[in-house]
Amino acid sequence: MNLAAALEPSHLELARGPLRVELDAGVRARIARCREFVLEVSGSGRAIYGVTTGFGPLVEFGGRPDGAGQSDNTIIHHIVGHGELMPPAVARAAVLARLFSLAQARSGVSEQVVTALIAMLGTEFAPAVPRLGSVGASGDLQPLAYVAHALRGNGNAFFQGRLMPAGEALDRAGLQKLELDGRDALALVNGVSVTAAALGLAVAQAIRARRSAELLSALMTDVLGCGTEFTSVGLLAAFGHPDVADTGAAIRTWLAGSSPSGERPLQEPYSIRCTPQLIGAAGTSVRHADEVVRRDLNGVSDNPLFFPETGEVVHGGNFFGQPSAFAADQLNVALVQLGNLAERQLDLLVDPRRTNGLPPMLSPAPGQHHALQGVQLCTTATVAAMRRAAVPASVQSLPTNLHNQDVVPFGTQAAFTALDQATHLRYLHAGLAIGLRQAVHVGARRPLAPKLAEAFDRIAEEVPPIVEDRPLDSALGQVADLLDVIVSEVESVS
């Protein structure tokens, strides 16, 4: 991966393991020139926030006279986060996002910092970062401070997935402790890179979730022998929403070669008949979040910014994560509605009154064995948890920081909620897929559409039929992974 290229949400997933990042000569030269400019300006006696001053509302006071001490203060006073730790993959994705912002050469960071982040990403090291602490207004100050803290050998870190003291993790990874001076520390923490990373990872999974919903809706239509009029090209074009038409096209492509059984009602329940409208609308929200987070990942979030070519030092608010906060909340709601759809589809599937006589809970011996009963209970609990978390974070503004940060976006919390919802949705889709596999075992027809039959066979190979009750927790995880693979292979079958 080259720092001169664009960073995409899917690239963030690559950071879960060792990742090679290249720093070409042009980027290196721009970083060096910006660093020189910062040193020139700060040496001239001109006031620069965070370099010659205190932080936040203490900007009215002078900072520490030495750059190393100023860097210490930047980081240490933010080491107060709490709550569960971010998964190592998310913390590493945040480092990748921060690296791309710094590589835009507007932050005045030293080249050694960029080099150290690149070296870290090439190993299995991950900073240990608490989830709670950022309001997403002056950047993700506290979580990014934990990143810098761990890279300096302080606090804790993960190596190969195991939590340990950061110094030990650095040694095991073959990394040197990071030394900071001048503006280095503030450049590391004063951006929305944690928010962008969490939202980017949520978007990458949400894109797959939309396609999984299309696949599973098509599979349900075929297995139950439903009519396909609801996917009509003319019908969906008349609705006027391109993403709805796109979902209809995807479902039609999956269903190619199928035919209705003639035993279903003229109009199916909305959980089948309205799938193009629901999934397509969710797709619109996913696409919007994708556009927003791409801008965050490839923009510069910091304050101030430095422009050596014009001699300007510009103080402003490019660390204010409002765009991603709004986009994450919108994505959150869309993911919950996709969860509602999966829950309703499973409910239909286990109900003998709506499946032309399939046994209750898809059990081959009702009463003696319970098949999908536990899966449905877990599905209900998961949807309830998703709904409870659907309250928007972006409108929860609370003044803080002596009213320096008098309005804040809480984008970090919004992004992590969206990522949580995307994770939950994977298991709802897996439960539905297991239900469809079991439905065929207890009497529903094998899918007639060749593409669906192939996908069904892959699911059936992963999950044997439920003849007698058995634990299905591991199977849920395996099928969730398989669905990701299947829809990633086709991306869009339309």
Residues designated catalytic? 49
Please report the sign of the dihedral spanned by the C-alpha atoms of residue 386, residue 387, residue 388, residue 390: positive
Query: From residue 115, how far is each of 2, 101, 127, 187 by CA, in Å?
Result: 13, 14, 16, 14
β-pair partners for 458 = none
Orientation angle between helical segments 242-255 and 275-298, nearest 10 degrees: 120
The DSSP-derived string for 397-451 is ---BTTTTB-S---HHHHHHHHHHHHHHHHHHHHHHHHHHHHHHHTTPPPP-SHH
Q: Which amino acid is at 278?
A: L
φ, ψ at 106 (rounded to 5°): -120, 0
Please report the sign of the dihedral spanned by the C-alpha atoms of residue 347, residue 353, residue 354, residue 356: positive
191 is written with which tokens? 């951006």
62 is written with which tokens? 């002078």
Q: Are 246 and 338 in contact (CB under 8 A)?
A: no
Cα–Cα nearest to 271, from 221, 345, 346, 353: 345
Task: Please state, in angstroms and rounded to a whole number, the distance separating the CA atoms of residues 143 and 290.
Answer: 23
Among the residues of 3-66, which ranges form H helices? 9-14, 25-43
Cα–Cα nearest to 424, from 489, 338, 328: 338
* Burial degree of 399 (CB within 10 A; 0-12, 13-18, 19+): exposed
Cα–Cα nearest to 472, from 439, 441, 427: 427
Element (DSSP H or E) covering residue 179: none
φ, ψ at 394 (rounded to 5°): -70, -10
Indicate the DSSP class of residue 360: G
Q: Are 55 and 141 in contact (CB under 8 A)?
A: no
